[in-house]
Amino acid sequence: MSLDREEPNHFGAGPAQLPTPVLQQAAKDLVNYKGIGLGIGEISHRSGDATEVIESTKANLRKLLNVPETHEVFFMQGGGTTGFSSLATNLVAAHVGKTGSAGTAGYLVTGSWSAKALEEAQRLGIESEMLFNAKDYNNGKFGAIPPESAWAEKLKAKDYSYVYLCENETVHGVEWPQLPKALVDSGIEIVADLSSDILSRAIDVSQYGVIMAGAQKNIGLAGLTLYIIKKSILQDISAASLDQLRQLGVPITPIAFEYPTVVKNNSAYNTIPIFTLHIVDLVLRHVLEKGGLAAQEEENDAKSQLLYNVLDKHSDFYKIPVSKDCRSRMNVVFTLKKEGFDKKFLDEAAKRNLTGLKGHRSVGGFRASLYNAVSLDSTKKLVQFVDEFATQNA
């Protein structure tokens, strides 16, 4: 069977399209990795070859994101939902280790994923609260981020163990343009979900306490999540005894998801899905070859601007339910103002091999995910279709 394929024009939100050269190399490596006679998925997770994959992925991630020496990189099984649980228990344990108090976990809710993260913390029994719900500032719907003046003073009101935000909400198409200054200046540990915009732009890693990113949206396959964490937080977690945590009613983190244990064992305490990690590494190399994050960010900005421009051009036909100051560059959501045309839009898009455009089931409409692997050429094809569909059906 040939490993060649027609380049897809797929805009699905995840699992998402990957660069064809990455998949071609991964397919070869799945059968025979580096000529050793075994596929990458068949080798021991503690073998020299597996360790090389882990170290290479860490090194390439550090290079792309300019990760400072103050931070550690590691990988764990699972996705964002697993991360919601492990972040909550690990970060509260860190606060106990540092201060002797469990504190309160704060959540900035801008969409369904940050809402789910808060729900999980509360389900686990973590003392947690919503610093704001963006719906309260946007007529009961997600689609805007309230100004810092509306919530920043709350940061001073309690002893916060951490504050959590999802930088890019895939369902509602809302993206923080940058970390809120009040939060950065507060000194509270910032815990951020970057699953859907990791490596889409340059960021200052030093500002974050923990970064979590599920691989399946922008950098790999489902089943693996990368973490970047302050080394001081790892030390604080280790300083909290189990007796302390029990006395304070803090849930004990399962050992396979306890961050210091994972780091101590170089991400291989539990059997790491090494094939999935290898694909992440291939994606990182691909981005480096393209020119790194500077080139990738320029391309992503161009893609999203083209699509938003054509949607704004036909504002009498399309509706973008997101404020201009927080429109996502990764997930462009929109609806049709005329009823009865949704199916026709998807059917005609499919005829042009434009796929993955149906909106999330909870909100309907349409969503074009412009992740790194979606080319500028694919985006231009979509833009042309969006333009023609509006003109022909106005």
CATH of the domain at 110: 3.40.640.10
Same domain, 47 and 159: yes
Mean per-residue pLDDT, 258-263: 98
User: For the domain that residue 335 is a member of, what is the CATH number?
Assistant: 3.90.1150.10
Active site residue 217: yes
Residue 46 is part of which domain span?
A: 40-287
Q: Examine the domain organization and report whether 308 and 178 are in the same domain.
A: no
Let me know whether 170 and 203 are in one domain.
Answer: yes
Q: Which of 58, 217, 230, 303 is catalytic?
A: 217
* Shared-domain flag, residues 84 and 229: yes
Q: Of 253, 287, 321, which closes a domain? A: 287
Is 35 domain-assigned? no
Check whether 362 has a pLDDT greater than 90: no
Query: Catalytic residue among 29, 58, 98, 113, which?
Result: 113
Q: What is the pLDDT of residue 358?
A: 96
Q: How confident is the model at residue 306 (pLDDT cuts 50, 70, 90)?
A: very high
Position 364 scores a pLDDT of 86
| 277 and 311, same domain (yes or no) | no
> pLDDT digit string (tens) for 206-251?
999 999 999 999 999 999 999 999 999 999 999 999 999 999 999 9
204 and 91 within one domain: yes
- Verify that 137 and 271 share a domain, yes or no: yes
User: Of the residues 238, 256, 287, which one is the last residue of a structural domain?
Assistant: 287
pLDDT at residue number 110: 98
What tens digit of pLDDT does each residue of 146-156 get? 999 999 999 99
- Domain contains 116: yes
Tell me, yes or no, whether 228 and 315 share the same domain. no
What mean pLDDT value characterizes the chain?
96
Is the per-residue pLDDT at 1 higher than 80?
A: no
* The dihedral sign for the CA sequence 73, 79, 80, 84: negative
Residue 228: inside a domain, yes or no? yes
pLDDT tens readout for residues 104-147: 999 999 999 999 999 999 999 999 999 999 999 999 999 999 99
Active-site residue flag, 193: yes
Helices (H), 124-192: 181-186
Indicate if 143 and 46 belong to the same structural domain. yes
Tell me the average pLDDT across 261-274.
Answer: 96
Residue 385: the pLDDT is: 98
In a domain, 12, yes or no: no
Q: Grade residue 11 by pLDDT with cuts at 50, 70 and 90.
A: very high
331-342 per-position pLDDT tens digit: 999 999 999 999
d(CA 246, CA 237): 14
pLDDT tens, position by position, 30-49: 999 999 999 999 999 889 99
Do 255 and 351 reside in the same domain of the chain? no
Q: How far is CA 338 from CA 83, 343, 363, 393, in A?
A: 40, 12, 16, 9
Determine the pLDDT at residue 229. 98
Domain check: are 198 and 303 in the same one? no
Token digits of residue 69: 């020496």
Give the pLDDT confidence score for residue 394 in this predicted structure.
85
- For residue 7, the Cα-to-chain-centroid distance in whole angstroms is 24
Catalytic choice (193, 197, 236, 281): 193
| Number of domains, the chain | 2
